[in-house]
Chain A
Amino acid sequence: EVVLTQSPGTLSLSPGETATLSCRASQSVRNNYLAWYQQKPGQAPRLLIYGASSRATGIPDRFSGSGSGTGFTLTISRLEPEDFAVYHCHQFGNSPPTFGQGTKVEIK
């Protein structure tokens, strides 16, 4: 199965700064089928990005996804207070679907 490794484990930033989250796959993700989710404590995950770079409905344009093959990035520009959360990457191009271990973006 494809192992996804997210880095860093925790990112400490201030509102207004830019967050850059990495997701590396142990093998190429077919069709760049890579998604990103945001999760806040006690809540279900929320889809942000699918297909590596397509924003889900209602997601602000300060969230952007990029990358291909084995390396993917989620960039959050101009961090808002509500953006501090855990972010998960998910590959669905290879079976079985797998998730990364998550990156926590916390307030510095």
Chain B
Amino acid sequence: EVQLLESGGGLAQPGGSLRLSCAASGFTLSNHVINWVRQAPGKGLEWVSSASGDNTYYTDSVKGRFTISSDSSKNTVYLQMNSLRAEDTAVYYCAKIGTGGGWYFEYWGQGTLVTVSS
């Protein structure tokens, strides 16, 4: 059974850093595209970043500030978030794409809340 478990959220000050983790089970993470999607309080969903092998992708608002990476020995993907801003406040979900063509999000973790505030 595919499972994704996020951790690492919490309160950070503007300009600060956090590292989110997404531990995968039921599949080998390095063989799949893994994504981060966020949802600000009361708002819609926003794609943040994707990793496919050595290729990484980011939404414009986080380029240069966020870095997606993975540790195959731990079957875990990370999102290093630096220079945090108030507008980064959101629930962050990791998601695995499906196999039916294209990068749609078939499996989701339960999410981890990031709050950026002084």
Q: Among A31, A33, A88, A93, point to the contact of B45 (Cβ < 8 A).
A: A88
CB distance from A3 to the nearest CB of B (A): 12
Chain B interface, number of residues (Cβ within 8 angstroms): 22
CB atoms of B108 and A44 under 8 A apart? yes
Q: How far is the CA of A88 from the CA of B45 in the complex (A)?
A: 8
Cβ contacts under 8 Å, B103 to chain A: 92, 97
Q: Are A50 and B108 in contact (CB under 8 A)?
A: no
User: In the complex, what residues of B have CB within 8 A of residue A54's CB?
Assistant: 100
Quick one: which of A6-61 are within 8 Å of B by CB? Answer: 31, 33, 35, 37, 43-47, 50-51, 54, 56
In terms of DSSP, what is the predominant structure of the interface of chain A? loop
A33 and B47 within 8 A (CB): no
> Cβ of B57: which chain A residues have Cβ within 8 Å of it?
95-96
- A35 neighbours in B (Cβ, 8 Å): 104-105
Q: Which residues of A contact B110 (CB under 8 A)?
A: 43-44
Q: List residues of chain A with CB within 8 A of the CB of B102.
A: 31, 33, 50-51, 92-93
**Minimum Cβ distance to chain B for residue A39 (Å):** 8
Contact of B104 (CB < 8 Å), options: A44, A90, A95, A100: A90
CA of A50 to CA of B104, assembled, Å: 7
**A47 and B98 contacting across the interface, CB-CB below 8 Å:** yes
Does chain B have a CB within 8 A of A98?
Answer: yes
Interface residues of B (CB under 8 A from A): 43-47, 57, 59-60, 93, 98, 100-111
Which 9 pairs, one residue from A and one from B, show the smallest C-beta to C-beta distance? Answer: A44-B108, A33-B102, A35-B104, A99-B45, A50-B104, A101-B44, A97-B47, A92-B102, A92-B103
